[in-house]
Amino acid sequence: MAGLPRALAPLRHRSYRLLAASMALSLLAQGLWTVALVWQVVALGGGPGALSLATALSAGGMLASTLLGGALADRVPQRRILLGVALLQTAAVGLVAVLSLTGTLALGPLAAASLAGGVATGLYYPAYSALVPGVVPPSDLLAANGLEGVVRPALAMAAGPAAGGLLVGAFSPGAALLATALTSAAAAACVAALPTLPVRREDIGAGLFADVREGVAYMVRTPWLLATLLFASLMVLVVIGPFEVLVPFAIRDQAGGGPSQHALVLAAFGLGGAAGSAVVASLRLPRRYLTVMILLWGTGCVPLVVFGWTSSLWLMVAAAAVLGAAFESATVIWGTLLQRRVPPALLGRVSSLDFFVSLAFMPLSMALAGPVSGVVGLTGTFLLAGLVPTVLAVVAILAWRLRADEIANPLDLPEEEPVLREPVA
């Protein structure tokens, strides 16, 4: 695979190709599940409160497992974790698919599957993040994160929801759930074909809890890391609930839409994210990487205001595309930043803390979205979600002096490539 352009350079490594294939299938399953869950809840007679419960359980499961996942990722070969996760998702979603198709599904089993999916996600992310630097050199990390940034929204927010919407509209939510389970099974097959690489850590004598404490201590004494995670946690509190829970009802109540229109909005978010990620991956890391990243996240929330006042589906689609471009561009920078500045032996635990701290308020945000919108309305809820993150971003940059940190620690300089632990195809 010689002669690949910079953005596709990681694909010359066989293990990365297998890892990327498994990641792509997992993301496709995630996108299918997003739409299938919403309209399965609706088919069972549930409203915003029921959907809030199911999504909050997913977020809670993810938070409950992610710290353990980080500790395991730094001491257990990551391939084994990824394989177990894919098999868990296959079994959980497969069960509710069968129940749905046979007309015996209730909200309880659906919520339990959502919880299991959250636990699986909490275990997946640290293992995946810790494995990527083991199969690509530092000079390819931005491109690898950029590829993930293109694939993640394109599949999880575009192709997956679009396929889910078509399956729900043409058949039933159960058909979309079955497609989700089969896609997870395919992801498991790709992981099974990966070689088992050793963990990048010399001393694994300490226990799991000691490992977690070591990761927390590193986070607390590292200002750029702590500042970013605290900012992200507050941003998620005001943003994720409205986007995940209230957008489907804004589409239904204000624009007269249904599953296909919901999938279209999610697809716009995904395609915008893919475009933003592709742009970032084709460039060098910004000199002011912390400032650019946090401002992209903060100001990128402003388009959420549109969902609170418009009845035009196409304005909602445009707003979702801008939101996705800003979010995924910042996420590409963030993933590269972690892999470049965090010691390899701590990367699994720091990745899990990234999930845990930045998403700590996700269950609360999901649970509050429905009740808050009942008090202040959709317009008021989306106004807060769109404007508050910009203020939080400015506060984070100034209070933690991130501009001085990024100047003192440049990442736009080339790094020497290490010898890979596998042959290059």
Mean pLDDT, the chain cut into blocks of 10 residues (425 residues total): 56 79 92 90 83 82 84 84 93 94 90 92 86 78 80 80 88 93 95 78 66 88 95 94 90 87 85 87 87 97 95 95 94 88 85 80 82 91 96 96 92 50 36
Residue 422 counted as domain residue: no
Residue range(s) defining the domain that contains residue 94: 6-193+208-408
The predicted pLDDT at position 141 comes to 76
Residue 199 counted as domain residue: no
Residue 17 counted as domain residue: yes
Specify the CATH number for the domain of residue 109: 1.20.1250.20
Tell which residue, 309, 84, 77, has the closest CA to residue 200.
77
Q: Which residues contact 50 (CB under 8 A, 6 or more apart)?
A: 41, 44, 107
**Sequential DSSP letters for 260-297:** HHHHHHHHHHHHHHHHHHHHHHTSPPPTTHHHHHHHHH
Residue 33 counted as domain residue: yes
The predicted pLDDT at position 329 comes to 92
Element (H, E) at 73: helix 48-73
Residue 182 counted as domain residue: yes
Question: How many domains does the chain contain in total?
Answer: 1
The predicted pLDDT at position 333 comes to 92
3-class secondary-structure state, position 392: helix
CA distances from 4 to 8, 13, 281, 339 (A): 6, 11, 14, 22
Cα–Cα distance measured from residue 303 to residue 297, given in angstroms and rounded to the nearest whole number: 12
Residue 327 counted as domain residue: yes
The predicted pLDDT at position 190 comes to 93
Residue 202 counted as domain residue: no
Residue 425 counted as domain residue: no
3-class secondary-structure state, position 411: coil
Is the pTM for the entire model greater than 0.85?
no
CA distances from 144 to 37, 133, 288, 344 (A): 30, 9, 20, 17
Tell which residue, 117, 75, 116, 333, has the closest CA to residue 215.
75
The predicted pLDDT at position 274 comes to 84
